[in-house]
Each structure stands twice: as C-alpha cells, then as structure tokens.
Amino acid sequence: MVEAALVAARGLGFRYGGDVVLAGIDLAVQPGDRLAILGPNGGGKSTLVRLLLGLLRPTSGRVVWSRSPRGRRLGYVPQFPAFDRGFPLKVAEMVLQGRLRERGPLRRFRAEDLAAVDAILADLDLEPLRDAFLTELSGGELKRALIARALVGEPELLVLDEPTASLDEASRRKLWARVAALPAACAVLLVTHDLGPGTFAPGRAVLVDRTLEPLSVPDLHQHPLLCGHGHG
C-alpha cells in the first residue's frame, strides 16, 4: 500500500525545457524494498531518483513521504558528484558528513560517530586515504568515499545511482557484500543500465524510459536491455 511507503511518486512528470523526460510515473518504495531501476542511458532513471529525494521539483504530479525526509536516515550515492572537488575537504571529513543527521549541524560528533567512520573506511579499503583531499583521489577512490558516506549513517533508504562506475572488481565485490548485509528493514534502490548475476539481488525491478514498466525479476537477465551487456 502506498500509505505504508517510505516515499511514493504519484503521477510524476518532469521536463527539461520542452523535452519530456518522465511522464505519469507511479512508484512506491516500501521499507525493506530491494528495487532495481533499469533503463537506457538518457531514459530518466537518475532524474527519477533526484525527484524522489527532493533534489529536483516535478513539473507534474507529486512525491509523498510518510514523514519528512529530514527526519529519515538517507544514504545517497550520486552518479556524478555535485560538489566542488576543489573544496579543501578530506576523505574522513566527507564520510563523517554521513552522520550529520544523528547530531545536527550544531552538535559535536561523538565517539561512536568517529568509530563508525573508522570502521567503514577500513571495510572499503579507504583507511590509507583518510587524510587525503578530494582533489587527490582517483575516480574509483572518490566513488568508494561516496559509498562510505552513504553507508556510515546506517540508512533506512539507500539510493545507489550507477554505484559501480569507476570501481575495480574487488571494490565491486565489497560493495555488493555490504549491500547484502544491510538490515532487512533498509530499503535499497539501485539505478543501473546493467545488472549482472552475483551483484544486486532485487526483489522488484522496473524499466524507466520516460514512462515506467514493471519487470519480472525471474526473467530479468533475458530482458533485451540486459542481454549481451558486460556484467560487473
């Protein structure tokens, strides 16, 4: 039921100028969902998640949260970072931002926050880079730092937009192991144009290409969109 959803899109539409990007999207993300959003490049997948997270304003329809997003623990790994990489911020400092909801901007971080950062840095092989500035990171290192920031706050809803881009195989395996080990109540929304066996195990899947179409999970890897793609 939509009423029980963490977040729901109702008749959602979005335009860039005169171009229709999304039209008539109805989608509910429930607690514990494992949802894969598939579709071609340019089909509107990233736009949809940005609308759900309130980073864009819809041109039609609405997004409904069961309670304010500010009151929820959200983790988000964007496809492309929106911040200025030239800002003098170190890896550990950026990851610690993932604990802000626990303390608020005017409260000091506690020992458990610092311990959580230490643990996730070690788990994602980022400990040697903890004092590196973002400008010093490779694309794969920055992506791992963004994943660490999303996970360190123990999210209720984790949104991953093409999270394996720039990652090597070992880092991909660590990511999927971490996702598989998340609490059952945590909803995971994965945006990807390619979903391979042994990576993310969705409970539901949808195809987004301007509109939304439910997909059969058992038949997912026979879908024309996925057949013939390299999996990682």
Rounded to the nearest integer, the mean pLDDT of the chain is: 88
Question: Is the distance from CB of 164 to CB of 77 less than 8 angstroms?
Answer: no
| 147 assigned to some structural domain | yes
Domain hosting 17: range is 1-72+156-232
Task: State residue 81's pLDDT score.
Answer: 79
Percent of the chain at pLDDT > 70 equals 89
Phi-psi region of 101 (alpha: psi -120 to 50; beta: other; left: phi over 0): alpha
- Looking at the whole model, is its pTM more than 0.85? yes
- In a domain, residue 77? The reply is no
Query: What average pLDDT score do residues 6-16 get?
Result: 95
CATH code of 22's domain: 3.40.50.300
pLDDT for 103 beyond 80: no
Does the pLDDT at position 229 exceed 80?
Answer: no
Does 144 share its domain with 162?
no
> Span 75-79, mean pLDDT?
94
Please tell me the predicted confidence (pLDDT) of residue 206.
95
Measure the CA–CA gap between 156 and 168, rounded to whole angstroms: 27
Over residues 154-213, the pLDDT tens digits come to 999 999 999 998 899 999 999 999 999 999 999 999 998 767 777 899 999 999 999 999
| Residues 165, 145 within the same domain | no
Q: What pLDDT score was predicted for residue 104?
A: 56
Q: Which two tokens stand for residue 42?
A: 């340019």
